[in-house]
Amino acid sequence: MSTHHLAREERQRLCDLALDLGPEAPTLCGDWNVQELVAHLLVRERSPFSVGIAVPQLSGLTERAMVRAQRPGLEAMVARLRSTRFTPVWIGKVDTLLNTMEFFVHHEDIRRAQPEWTPRRLSSYEQAQVWGGLRFTGKALARPAGVPVSIRRSDRDAVAVLVPGDEPVVVTGLPCELTMFLYGRDQHRDLEFTGPQQKIAALKGAALGL
C-alpha cells in the first residue's frame, strides 16, 4: 500500500465496495443509496453545479446534476470516479487536503450501513492521516454543540483542542471512530466521554457533521 496517498486508497476501496454491493445498497447518508452517493462524489469533484453542496439556496442545481450523473449506471460512474487524471485532485497535496476525509467517511458510510459491519483495522499510518484530517475539520464539526471539546487518541498520547474553553468534553477513541462521531454518524465504537455531564449531553445531542 502507498504510504503517501490515503485519499487515493480510500477512493479505490469505496469504488470496489460500491460495485460489490450494487447501486441500491443503503448508506449512512440519509436516504441516499450507493449509486446516489457515488453521484454526489462525481458532482462534487467534476461539476460546477456542486456549488449547491455549500450553498443551500442552490441545492436544486446540485440535485439535478446528481440525477444526470446517474444516467450511465453504476459501473460507468465508478469507472469515472476511479480516475482523477486531468482534474485538480490529481495534484497529490490537493487530493490529500480535499479528499482524505471525504473518501474515508463515505467509504465508512457504505460499510457501516450494511448489517453486521465491524470496524476496520487501520494501519498506524492510516490512523495518523485520519487524525491529521480530523484536527483540521473537527473544529467546524464540533462547533454546533456550543461546548468546549477536545479529542484524544486512545492508541497514542495525542490530544487536539477543537473548541477551546474551560471544563471541556474530552472524547477519547481511535481516530477513525472519533471521525465518524464528529461527522454526525451514530455507527461508531468504543468512544469514551469525560467532562461535565451537561456538556457531554449537549455534544451527544448536537447536530454534528457537514
DSSP 8-state class, residue 200: H
Q: 158: alpha, beta or left, given left = phi > 0 and alpha = psi -120 to 50?
A: beta
pLDDT (0 to 100) of residue 141 = 95
- How does pLDDT run across 61-74, given as a tens digit for each residue? 778 888 898 999 99
pTM, to two decimals: 0.89
Q: How far is CA 139 from CA 27, 72, 165, in A?
A: 25, 38, 13
Interatomic CA distance for residues 140 and 61, integer angstroms: 25
Question: How would residue 95 be classed by pLDDT, with cut points 50, 70 and 90?
Answer: low
Distance of CA 210 to the CA centre of its chain: 9
What percentage of the chain carries pLDDT values higher than 90? 74
- How does pLDDT run across 47-66, given as a tens digit for each residue? 655 555 555 666 777 788 88
Residue indicated by cell numbers 442545481:
61
pLDDT (0 to 100) of residue 86 = 59
CATH topology for 124-205 is Nonspecific Lipid-transfer Protein; Chain A (3.30.1050)
Domain map (residue ranges) of the chain: 6-111, 124-205
Interatomic CA distance for residues 195 and 95, integer angstroms: 36
Amino acid residing at 125: Y
Residue 138's closest CA among 197, 183, 204, 186? 183
- How does pLDDT run across 4-30, given as a tens digit for each residue? 589 899 999 999 999 999 999 999 999
